[in-house]
Amino acid sequence: MIHCCKKPWDHYRNTHVRNLAWCLLSPSLLASTPEGHDLLPALSPSEHHNWLTQLDQQPEPLLAHMQQCKSPRIGLVFEHYWHFFWQAQLGGAMEPPWSAECRERRWLKNLQVNHPKTHRTLGEADFIAYLTYHQQPSSRLLHRELAVKFYLGFPVPDTPQESPPKCLWLGPNCIDRLDIKLAQMSNKQLQLLHHPEAQNALPPHWQGLPVDSQIVLRGQLFYPAHRQDFSADEAPLNQNHLRGFWYYLEGLLNSIDRHEEVVILNKSDWFCTPALKDQTHIIEKKYLAEELAPYLSDKEAGVLTEVGTQRAAARPLMLSVGHSSTQSSGAARPTQRRWQEARRVFVVPSHWPDTSLPSFKT
């Protein structure tokens, strides 16, 4: 089964540039959220492509920027990619304490809001920009809250048999749910700048301006392959969101064509699979069950990853299904092969989602 469709980020070679393109250009999970290029004074698709192409040829500024991100958590990595884009479009960010020079800068990041007496943190605004719209009579503040999530759809067990199954969108380790995440972002994070404490934390010349607050939610939803009647008709969802399927092991093996290959994705590759993969990490179908078994067993076992053998309890795995090909002669690393992804899937332990095993935060 091959579902190969070239995505915008597949045009680039450098892994960080591919990830940046995915963060900017992948479809929102939310119907009400504008696409990435609408978040700032608009860049046309050709302008995006030209900028990313130049960056792909000379990626040093992006590489240096991403080295400053010391956390492996994909939510913080996601924010860091967006910071690079905003800096390229709007110049340097404001930094407190506010000074006269700040008036020349047009945006700030991670504004922490504290209670003036108790100093308890009330929240943090991911991104705020000061923009003047030609069609508007006055300036406004653009407030964006960022999130990247990968959810697996699970039918609610007590749904009446004659009705289509209701669904919950669960994080792979069942510590996160889409409905709860959206409620938290809508009811708390998007309301932050309307609090007096947040207004007082803004630069003086921004205080009191109208605020346009929205969620930027990227990611992918994985549908249960064994439930053909499963659908996601929730109003907030963008119908063009990135889709995949999740399987138990037997279903996964049955879904893969004998000519297809599989790569087990590290968290660092969840945005966009690298264009090149070492041949030792590309798995042929005939070896797939054996390679996946240590990850999916309830008993802890040693598993081989790109950073060496590690101990890991059974947990869901994101996989890239596709095919590899040899590089052109004279390649710097002949053990690497070109990787063309056809689709993304999750494979889960047989007990998922009923698990009390340690979680790996997403």
Q: How far is it, in rounded angstroms, from Cα 96 to Cα 4?
A: 47
What pLDDT, on the 0 to 100 scale, is given for residue 21? 95
Reduce the DSSP state of residue 268 to 3 states and report it: helix
- From residue 139, alpha-carbon distances to 131, 205, 323 in Å are 6, 11, 51
Smallest CA-to-CA distance from 198 within 319, 307, 113 is with 113
Whether 111 contacts 141, CB under 8 Å: no
* Angle, vertex CA 168, rays to CA 164 and CA 170, nearest 5: 145
Lowest mean pLDDT among 22-31, 224-233, 251-260, 349-358: 349-358
Q: Are strands 139-155 and 167-170 parallel, antiparallel or unpaired?
A: antiparallel
To the nearest whole percent, how much of the chain has pLDDT over 70? 81
Q: Are strands 167-170 and 211-224 parallel, antiparallel or unpaired?
A: unpaired
- C-beta contacts of 226-229 below 8 A and 24+ residues apart: 226/251, 227/155, 227/165, 229/164, 229/165
Burial of 256-285, coded b for 16+ CB within 10 Å and e otherwise, reads beeebbbbbbeeebbbbbbbbbeeebbbee
Whether 222 contacts 152, CB under 8 Å: yes
How many residues does the structure list for the chain? 362
Burial of 85-95, coded b for 16+ CB within 10 Å and e otherwise, reads bbeeebeebbe
User: In this structure, what DSSP letter does residue 13 have?
Assistant: -
What pLDDT, on the 0 to 100 scale, is given for residue 232? 66
Q: Token match 């069609």: residue?
A: 135
Whole-model pTM: value is 0.87
The residues near 181 (Cβ < 8 Å, ≥ 6 apart) are 147, 149
Q: How far is it, in rounded angstroms, from Cα 171 to Cα 149?
A: 8
Per-residue pLDDT reduced to its tens digit, 199-215:
999 999 899 999 999 89
Element (H, E) at 319: strand 317-326
What pLDDT, on the 0 to 100 scale, is given for residue 168? 86
34: pLDDT strictly greater than 80: no
Per-residue pLDDT reduced to its tens digit, 108-153:
999 999 988 888 999 999 999 987 765 555 688 999 999 999 999 9
- The residue ranges of every structural domain in the chain are 8-347
What pLDDT, on the 0 to 100 scale, is given for residue 117? 86
Smallest CA-to-CA distance from 266 within 151, 202, 362, 163 is with 362
Per-residue pLDDT reduced to its tens digit, 38-72:
455 557 888 889 999 999 999 999 999 999 999 99
* Averaged pLDDT, 286-291: 95
What pLDDT, on the 0 to 100 scale, is given for residue 331? 53
Whether 293 contacts 352, CB under 8 Å: no
32: pLDDT strictly greater than 80: no
What pLDDT, on the 0 to 100 scale, is given for residue 361? 43
> Residue 172 — very low, low, confident or very high, per pLDDT cuts 50/70/90?
very high
Per-residue pLDDT reduced to its tens digit, 306-330:
545 454 568 899 999 999 998 765 5
Q: What's the gap between Cα 165 and its chain centre?
A: 27
Q: How far is it, in rounded angstroms, from Cα 12 to Cα 25?
A: 13
Q: How high is the mean pLDDT of the chain?
A: 85
What pLDDT, on the 0 to 100 scale, is given for residue 264? 96
Per-residue pLDDT reduced to its tens digit, 270-282:
999 888 888 889 9
Q: How far is it, in rounded angstroms, from Cα 26 to Cα 97?
A: 35
> Residue 160 — very low, low, confident or very high, per pLDDT cuts 50/70/90?
low
